[in-house]
């Protein structure tokens, strides 16, 4: 019973608009959007500051202007999810900085945190020719502090029925297509746009991508084009509102497209749901570098996999979603306690 107490307190604390947002113990919530009380991308509009509080700008000191290279999503206080193709040969992690809580990259305020990168993990089967498994994780130098402008993203496991989600958005500081001035084609202010999820079969049909899209991808945009992610948006999130509650899932990582905003050539995203257990395995392995045995990975990933069905369930009751890390900690705690109790009995 005592164990349930923190859970109940957490649930009580995180109703939209009334929560304490500093603890990084929920995900997908948008305190500023609740506060606003209404809630580049090609064809998008300026986002309001805090609309997508898990989005980060990954920058390199070697690039001109703001140094913006790619987007990413904060999935735990110390890990960012991004795209593998952002970290090609010419990119050194020592040159990188991760800007969190920003809106206008040319005017970083007090609410912004700037971090360095401790390590980058690219998917071991990322293929730069086919763009298969275009996903990566960055470990930050230290954990972030959550706030009205900095929140964790929710990553769904395979139990979320992604294709049923209808309120989906992309955001990023990438090329807007409007400014053709060569030196700085990217957006300073975060752009956002609503997109439609497009069935993979349609997306892979002959006048579209003709089989180039992988089964672990998501297609999103519009058949007629016009609104799309573009260069510089890569690594950033494709996000959908939960069907039953007011929080967002990061269902995709911006990966590629043929041009930007062209008809029948929508944006292609790596499905986070598909890589859910890969992500957990990497986080687990990074936390316990000594216990690197395959069977260990397998048990923990399937174990967590089951437990993390909870964000979906939480949503049906209208309560708040749990980030991967909090669930992991909570259930590990319960498991340890049960083990101790069992041990005492025997
Ligand atoms: N590969 C691009 C990048 O590095 C993202 C392209 C997305 N393209 C698209 N048409 N949706 O930023």
Q: Is 71 in the pocket of ligand 1 (CB under 6 A)?
A: no
Which of 41-50, 171-180, 242-251, 287-296 has the weakest average pLDDT?
A: 287-296
pLDDT value at residue 37: 52
Q: Is 232 in the pocket of ligand 1 (CB under 6 A)?
A: yes
Higher pLDDT, 60 or 339: 60
pLDDT(66) > 50: yes
pLDDT value at residue 102: 98
Q: Is 256 in the pocket of ligand 1 (CB under 6 A)?
A: yes
pLDDT in tens, 313-325: 333 334 457 676 5
Neighbours of 207 (CB within 10 A): 9
Q: Is 230 in the pocket of ligand 1 (CB under 6 A)?
A: yes
pLDDT in tens, 95-138: 999 999 999 999 999 999 999 999 999 999 999 999 999 999 99
Q: What is the CATH number of the domain that holds 12?
A: 2.40.10.10
259 closest CA partner among 225, 236, 219, 218 = 225
Token pair, residue 199, equals 């069935």
Position 152 confidence tier, pLDDT thresholds 50, 70, 90: very high
Q: Is residue 329 part of a domain?
A: no
pLDDT value at residue 33: 84
Those residues whose C-beta lies under 8 Å from the C-beta of residue 170, and which sit 6 or more positions away, are: 41, 44, 192, 193, 195, 220, 228, 229, 233, 236, 237, 238, 239, 254, 267
What is this structure's pTM? 0.82
Q: Is residue 133 part of a domain?
A: yes
pLDDT value at residue 20: 73
pLDDT(205) > 90: yes
Token pair, residue 318, equals 């209208």
Q: How far is the CA of 121 from the centre of ligand 1 (A)?
A: 20
pLDDT(303) > 70: no
Position 257 confidence tier, pLDDT thresholds 50, 70, 90: very high
Q: How far is the CA of 256 from the centre of ligand 1 (A)?
A: 4
Q: Is residue 139 part of a domain?
A: yes
Q: Is residue 327 part of a domain?
A: no
Total count of domains within the chain: 1
Q: Is residue 240 part of a domain?
A: yes
Q: Is residue 346 part of a domain?
A: no
pLDDT value at residue 308: 35
Q: Is 233 in the pocket of ligand 1 (CB under 6 A)?
A: yes
Position 145 confidence tier, pLDDT thresholds 50, 70, 90: very high
Position 176 confidence tier, pLDDT thresholds 50, 70, 90: confident
Which of 58-67, 235-244, 334-343 has the weakest average pLDDT?
A: 334-343
Q: Is residue 322 part of a domain?
A: no
Provide the domain limits for residue 227.
Answer: 5-39+45-278
d(CA 156, CA 138): 19
Locate tokens 């990954």: which residue?
A: 58
pLDDT value at residue 10: 46
pLDDT in tens, 8-37: 444 444 545 556 788 999 999 999 987 765
Query: Which active-site residues does the annotation give?
Result: 85, 134, 234
> Residue 136 gets which letter from DSSP?
E
Q: Is residue 304 part of a domain?
A: no
239 closest CA partner among 45, 10, 14, 27 = 27
pLDDT value at residue 187: 82
Which of 56-60, 141-145, 183-187, 342-346 has the weakest average pLDDT?
A: 342-346
Ligand 1 pocket test target in 83, 256, 262, 263 with most atoms within 8 Å of CB: 256
- C-alpha dihedral over 112, 107, 84, 253, to 10 degrees? 80
């Amino acid at each position: 019973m005592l164990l349930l107490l923190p859970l109940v307190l957490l649930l009580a604390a995180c109703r939209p608009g009334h929560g304490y947002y500093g603890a990084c113990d929920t995900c997908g919530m948008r305190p500023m959007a609740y506060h606003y009380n209404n809630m580049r991308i090609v064809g998008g509009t300026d986002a309001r500051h805090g609309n997508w509080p898990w989005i980060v700008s990954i920058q390199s000191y070697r690039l001109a202007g703001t140094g913006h290279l790619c987007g990413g999503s904060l999935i735990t206080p110390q890990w960012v999810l991004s795209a593998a193709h952002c970290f090609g040969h010419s990119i050194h992690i020592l040159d990188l900085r991760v800007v969190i809580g920003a809106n206008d990259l040319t005017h970083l305020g007090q609410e912004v945190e700037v971090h360095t990168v401790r390590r980058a993990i690219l998917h071991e089967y990322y293929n730069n020719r086919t763009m298969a498994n275009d996903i990566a994780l960055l470990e930050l130098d230290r954990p972030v502090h959550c706030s009205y402008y900095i929140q964790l993203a929710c990553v769904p496991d395979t139990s979320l029925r992604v294709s049923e989600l209808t309120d989906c958005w992309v955001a990023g500081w990438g090329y807007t297509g409007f400014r053709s001035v060569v030196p700085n084609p990217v957006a300073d202010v975060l752009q956002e746009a609503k997109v439609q999820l497009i069935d993979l079969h349609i997306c892979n049909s002959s006048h579209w991508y003709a089989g180039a899209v992988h089964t672990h991808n998501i297609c999103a945009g519009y058949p007629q084009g016009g609104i799309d992610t573009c260069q510089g948006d890569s690594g950033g999130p494709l996000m959908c509102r939960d069907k039953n509650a007011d929080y967002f899932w990061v269902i995709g990582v911006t990966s590629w497209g043929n041009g930007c905003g062209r008809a029948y050539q929508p944006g292609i995203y790596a499905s986070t749901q598909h890589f859910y257990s890969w992500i957990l395995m990497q986080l687990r392995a990074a936390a316990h570098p000594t216990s690197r045995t395959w069977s260990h990975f397998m048990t923990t990933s399937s174990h967590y996999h089951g437990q993390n069905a909870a964000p979906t369930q939480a949503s049906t009751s209208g309560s708040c979603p749990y980030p991967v890390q909090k669930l992991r900690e909570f259930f590990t705690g319960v498991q340890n306690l049960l083990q101790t109790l069992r041990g005492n009995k025997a």
